[in-house]
Amino acid sequence: MFIYSDSNKRYHTLDYFYKHKFNSKVFKVSLNAGFTCPNIDGSKGYGGCIYCSKLKSGDYAGDKDKDLVTQFIEVRNNILKKWPNSKYIGYFQAGTNTYADVNVLKEKYEQILKMDDVVGLSIATRADAIDDKCLDYLEELSKKTYLTIELGLQSIHEKTSKLINRCHSLDCFYKMVNKLRAKNINVVVHIINGLPYESKEDMLETVKYLNQLDIQGIKIHMLHILKDTALNNLYQKKHFPVLSREEYVDIVCDQLELLRPEIVIHRITGDPKVTDLIEPKWLIKKFGVLNEIDKELVRRDSYQGKNEISTY
């Protein structure tokens, strides 16, 4: 059995991590605090990353027209029906959630921390959107609660960064990871498989690079092309190749084999809204993808870290 598993999973799942850290079922409650992004307002770029939806990648976050407490309570009340003794992580998901004055951040974050049974915060942001004042505040916050900063990297490759309009460098990302870890703040990195024109080796190189860094978790997404995005406009013009389910499963299993076992896998596939999805249609059956990853690891007699080559 894989060392970080008490089920049939051969990788370090977030559910396992939360259960053993908090001795409880823990749910992330997705929130929309109404933040914009330096890649949207012109500070760094315009239009956002090409895959970004009209909800700023917060398609499952709360309604920004409702206050944060109301958003949180609505989700919690549904969870309580099935899991009455659960605990919660407030997940600031939509937009760039450190892109504001520190006093604004304090007001938004700390009202969620006051809610019953909240054991931590997870804050999605960009490597170029955490200034020194924010960094000091995050350090203070991390001493009071379980704090995770989620950084969107997507790919280490410059050609891809330009194509997707990320508008910050790999060096910027690297420096921010080190700054966060110097303050003992947990870091989770988002990557995307299937970005236009990337090869399998490109995707594996991204994971090899991350495996050398002091990161605590990773989110592996499958690229999904959504309506009303710049990515869909590109796809309609170029019809670049989209990974099949079999290709995606193969790549993910190779990536898992490269990752240190202690790195927590926060996500392992995409989760698009069906009404907005253009391609790939196979992503609609999320649990089918998860099952195929499990079966492929069994077929290989493999597990997370089996082929790890790390100097970390």
In whole angstroms, what is the distance from residue 225 CA to residue 110 CA? Answer: 35
Residue 198 and residue 297 in contact, taking contact as beta carbons nearer than 8 Å: no
Give 61's pLDDT tier (boundaries 50, 70, 90): low
Give 114's pLDDT tier (boundaries 50, 70, 90): very high
Burial class (CB in 10 A: 0-12, 13-18, 19+), 128: buried
Rounded to an integer, the average pLDDT of 156-180 is 96
Least confident stretch, 101-115, 176-190, 264-278? 264-278
In the DSSP assignment, the letter for residue 46 is: B
Report the chain's mean pLDDT, rounded to a whole number. 94
Residue 288 and residue 241 in contact, taking contact as beta carbons nearer than 8 Å: no
In this prediction, residue 55 carries a pLDDT of 58
In this prediction, residue 221 carries a pLDDT of 96
In this prediction, residue 58 carries a pLDDT of 47
For the whole model, what pTM was predicted?
0.95
Burial class (CB in 10 A: 0-12, 13-18, 19+), 46: exposed
Residue 176 and residue 168 in contact, taking contact as beta carbons nearer than 8 Å: no
- Locate all alpha helices (DSSP H) within the chain, ordered by sequence: 14-22, 68-80, 102-113, 132-142, 158-164, 170-182, 200-211, 230-238, 245-258, 286-300
Rounded to an integer, the average pLDDT of 171-190 is 98
Least confident stretch, 45-54, 130-139, 157-166? 45-54
Compare 51 and 135 and report the one with higher pLDDT. 135
Q: Which of 234, 226, 215, 236 is nearest to 278 (CA)?
A: 226
**Residue 59 scores a pLDDT above 60:** no
Per-residue model confidence as pLDDT tens digits over 277-293 = 999 999 999 999 999 99
In whole angstroms, what is the distance from residue 89 CA to residue 68 CA? Answer: 13
- Quote the crossing angle between the two packed helices 102-113 and 68-80, to the nearest 10°: 30
Pairing of strands 225-226, 186-193: unpaired
Domains contained in the chain, CATH given = 14-300 (3.20.20.70)
**Residue 84 scores a pLDDT above 70:** yes
